[in-house]
Chains A and B, each alone.
Chain A
């Protein structure tokens, strides 16, 4: 009996290889494999999903092993052999007992899976909002993220800062999700599942990250040409660091007289029509708020790191980094470009 079972070693090997491929992420830690690994949760919604998904994978793993083994066995044991005669095998038309059994058992599995799932849905979607919550309104645009902090009275873009939370005394962040144009989706895998930002259909989601650090994600609903580069960076900070950041963001723009020419060009060349620089006449809302542009690590919503060279190239022609972005190519001479870039570099 064992010898017969061992004849199917190659099939078992194939199955094991396949399972390993599919199961690899289970053993992956984010610092080793990926900063966007859904199996490296760091916030309660992501943890709840992770626990449910592991349970489900175990159930499905068992189902897979059973059915695959039966298939492998049938394929090897019942193949026609050369020494077989021409007679047909016994014709079996059905079996009530077996058919009832393999109907009832799957239904029971479905009931178990459904009940555990419904519980997690409720726990995440209907969670009660504790005191001490940070509120952020997220407005998605083609192809960047606007972040408004109504409790603190400022607006920023593309890089979301939140305070770290703690399971004993939670200080989660609640995100109101709006869209200025088409459908988008907010997905930072280590912090939560994704929720869509749909015009005329406000949504909410919440995160309570338990570790400080930078968490990555990107837009997950096709929204047009540059959907692929609508990246997200979430900075989880200690309470002190977060308060310092808020305080800095609340200040109006730095006024540096040495770049006044650039500041004047910013208005003259109509940059103000799309961008806001608080404390100046620039109050446009079509594009990202630039008041504290230099406090950000990237430009173009994660398209490139925020270096002087990249900043200059971006202002020169955004399509260099993000073809299809809605920011037009400004009409600037080299001198004007240098002045505006110098001005922008002072907006810390």
Chain B
């Protein structure tokens, strides 16, 4: 009972971080089940495995869960755990606000999933939202969505939004105000910089979504007509509000992952991060430019030609700092002595996949190409390349990297390699062929499709790949659990790394550091281990 209260009532950033992560893992498994069901339905044309009603709820829940109840919480979780340690602090700036952020987000997820048990009952996917994760008006109006499924979407995300805003404010205050002596902004780890940019983006980008959702509630329940076209409302306005949120949101998701890679690659290549100032500038630049690209989700809506052209320019421009980061990571590896332990394997997979995702992104940024490829399976392939091939791969890397710090034990390296290779094969089997139906005219969000359009084989292969991904994740979960109890002891610094979290015990005491450290460079532990050649001589 004491243990339960300790976790329910904690304001310790490490415990809150772990709760975020475990919560997200639970929803990752649920998302995977939703995906498997959809892939079974799509393996054959004109399949009757799922009804259209159930399928449409599944893809809506899969997308909504993935963005708000897997990716956001897991990234908040890692930032929560790792950033205060890395900057030599004892906790986040506002520990109780931190706990509030977690619990309100968690409640949002439970509220969303309660919808599965309403209306037609669980076997029919209940009254779960079926309007797509971006819930376009007027499909969400009372006329076209009677019942409460849309309301579960709106309310659960309003809660998650509050949690995110509070969490972002906390991260910003922590990074700006709680760095240990000597750690100027120019000396803090890139993970801390990425968390700062993520926090800033969240503060700016969640508000339009919240505003749009409140307007939707006014339409649905208070006689409003914001999006009611019969009364002169505007559907395009929903799109603008949603995508002003929706596009920066995906940068919110990827930027902390850039942080993971920027911590892991140098340690495993045995070299300092190449071009730290450029990495900072590129990340901040991406944050700003990403606020100006949103209408590339609206190229087919009928905006004037100069409007479309403007968004082509901004979207292509945001690819420049992103590409720079890939070159910097490559240059960090260049001339190194790379150890391919599991964290580095996942980061290498990320580099390849993020390159491909960026290139397909440029295709989609090109408005005329998007007039063909938009809203097709090419887009689904592109964003899963980013989210699974980019974000999830780096999250796996982060797990293997920081697990020793959290638990005091190493994860099993053999199982890690099995996880990597099986999941890599599954990822590519599913998402490489998926580009092809898009190029051959298959739209997204379809519960079935016609035979004879050249889509059948690719869909079957994609479905087979899902099985491999499931196996990979099962191996991972088993590895997590068994290593936690019987893994070999790791010690403070199993990877011979250079940032402050490795200077304290594994796991850290509740107060993190007995004495607050003082630093003179970006790699304080490198300075200690190499007194003859410290970093501060070169920075």
User: Which residues of A are interface residues toward B (Cβ below 8 A)?
Assistant: 18, 21-22, 24-25, 28, 33-39, 46, 48-49, 52-53, 56-57, 60, 63-64, 67-68, 70-71, 74-75, 78-80, 84, 88-95, 98-99, 102-103, 106-107, 110, 113-114, 117-118, 120-122, 124-126, 142, 177, 181-183, 185, 187, 189, 192-196, 198-201, 203, 216-229, 231, 302, 323-324
Report the count of interface residues on B (CB-CB < 8 A): 99
Residue contact B439 to A117, C-beta cutoff 8 Å? no
Most A C-beta atoms less than 10 A away, residue of B317, B370, B372: B372
Which B residues touch A21, using CB under 8 A? 432-433, 435-436
23 contacts between A and B (CB under 8 A): A22-B435, A25-B436, A33-B454, A34-B441, A35-B441, A46-B372, A48-B368, A52-B366, A60-B363, A64-B356, A78-B333, A78-B337, A88-B270, A89-B337, A93-B274, A106-B324, A124-B371, A183-B138, A193-B300, A193-B372, A216-B453, A224-B56, A228-B445
Nearest 6 pairs between A and B by C-beta?
Answer: A193-B371, A36-B441, A34-B454, A228-B446, A200-B229, A203-B302
Residue contact B234 to A200, C-beta cutoff 8 Å? yes
Residue contact B138 to A181, C-beta cutoff 8 Å? yes
Contact of A34 among B339, B369, B432, B440 (CB under 8 A): B440
Report if A117-B367 is in contact (Cβ < 8 Å); known contacts: A68-B352, A74-B330: yes
The docked-state distance in angstroms from the alpha carbon of A183 to that of B298 is 12
Which B residues touch A33, using CB under 8 A? 440, 454
Residue contact A78 to B138, C-beta cutoff 8 Å? no
Closest-CB distance, A155 to chain B (whole angstroms): 22
Residue contact A67 to B300, C-beta cutoff 8 Å? no
The docked-state distance in angstroms from the alpha carbon of A106 to that of B323 is 8
Give the residues from 492 to 535 in chain B that come closer than 8 angstroms, CB to CB, to chain A: 530, 533, 535
Which A residues touch B368, using CB under 8 A? 48-49, 52-53, 117, 120-121, 124, 193
The docked-state distance in angstroms from the alpha carbon of A39 to that of B116 is 41
Residue B269 at the A interface, CB < 8 A?
yes
Contact of A98 among B234, B331, B436 (CB under 8 A): B331
Residue contact B138 to A225, C-beta cutoff 8 Å? no
Closest-CB distance, A267 to chain B (whole angstroms): 28
Residue B309 at the A interface, CB < 8 A?
yes
Majority secondary structure of chain A interface residues (helix, strand, loop or mixed): mixed
Residue contact A195 to B355, C-beta cutoff 8 Å? no
Residue B335 at the A interface, CB < 8 A?
yes
| Stretch of B64-72, B74-82, B275-283, B409-417 lying at the A interface | B275-283
Residue B327 at the A interface, CB < 8 A?
yes
Closest-CB distance, B455 to chain A (whole angstroms): 8
Closest-CB distance, A225 to chain B (whole angstroms): 5
Which B residues touch A193, using CB under 8 A? 300, 368, 370-372, 374
Residue contact B441 to A187, C-beta cutoff 8 Å? yes
The docked-state distance in angstroms from the alpha carbon of A71 to that of B362 is 20
Query: Which residue on B lies nearest to A80, using beta carbons?
Result: B337
Closest-CB distance, B261 to chain A (whole angstroms): 13
Report if A196-B300 is in contact (Cβ < 8 Å); known contacts: A106-B319, A118-B312: yes
The docked-state distance in angstroms from the alpha carbon of A287 to that of B513 is 72
The docked-state distance in angstroms from the alpha carbon of A33 to that of B441 is 11
Residue B482 at the A interface, CB < 8 A?
no
Residue contact A227 to B446, C-beta cutoff 8 Å? yes
Residue contact A89 to B366, C-beta cutoff 8 Å? no
Residue contact A53 to B440, C-beta cutoff 8 Å? no
Which A residues touch B275, using CB under 8 A? 93-95, 99
Query: Which residue on B lies nearest to A91, using beta carbons?
Result: B272
Closest-CB distance, A30 to chain B (whole angstroms): 9
Which A residues touch B5, using CB under 8 A? none
Residue contact B276 to A60, C-beta cutoff 8 Å? no
Closest-CB distance, B440 to chain A (whole angstroms): 4
Residue contact B441 to A182, C-beta cutoff 8 Å? no
Which B residues touch A198, using CB under 8 A? 235-236, 301-302
Which B residues touch A57, using CB under 8 A? 363
Residue contact A224 to B539, C-beta cutoff 8 Å? no
The docked-state distance in angstroms from the alpha carbon of A113 to that of B340 is 37
The docked-state distance in angstroms from the alpha carbon of A33 to that of B440 is 9
The docked-state distance in angstroms from the alpha carbon of A226 to that of B435 is 24
Which B residues touch A218, using CB under 8 A? 443, 446
Give the residues from 301 to 317 in chain B that come closer than 8 angstroms, CB to CB, to chain A: 301-302, 304-305, 308-309, 312-313, 316-317
The docked-state distance in angstroms from the alpha carbon of A286 to that of B15 is 58
Report if A102-B355 is in contact (Cβ < 8 Å); known contacts: A38-B373, A89-B337, A124-B368: no
Give the residues from 426 to 446 in chain B that come closer than 8 angstroms, CB to CB, to chain A: 432-433, 435-436, 439-446
Which A residues touch B323, using CB under 8 A? 102, 106
Report if A194-B439 is in contact (Cβ < 8 Å); known contacts: A71-B330, A201-B236: no
Query: Which residue on B lies nearest to A221, using beta carbons?
Result: B375
Residue contact B326 to A67, C-beta cutoff 8 Å? yes
Closest-CB distance, B478 to chain A (whole angstroms): 28
Which B residues touch A79, using CB under 8 A? 337-340
Residue contact A37 to B433, C-beta cutoff 8 Å? no
Contact of B335 among A28, A37, A90, A222 (CB under 8 A): A90
Query: Which residue on B lies nearest to A72, using beta carbons?
Result: B352
Most A C-beta atoms less than 10 A away, residue of B348, B374, B535: B374
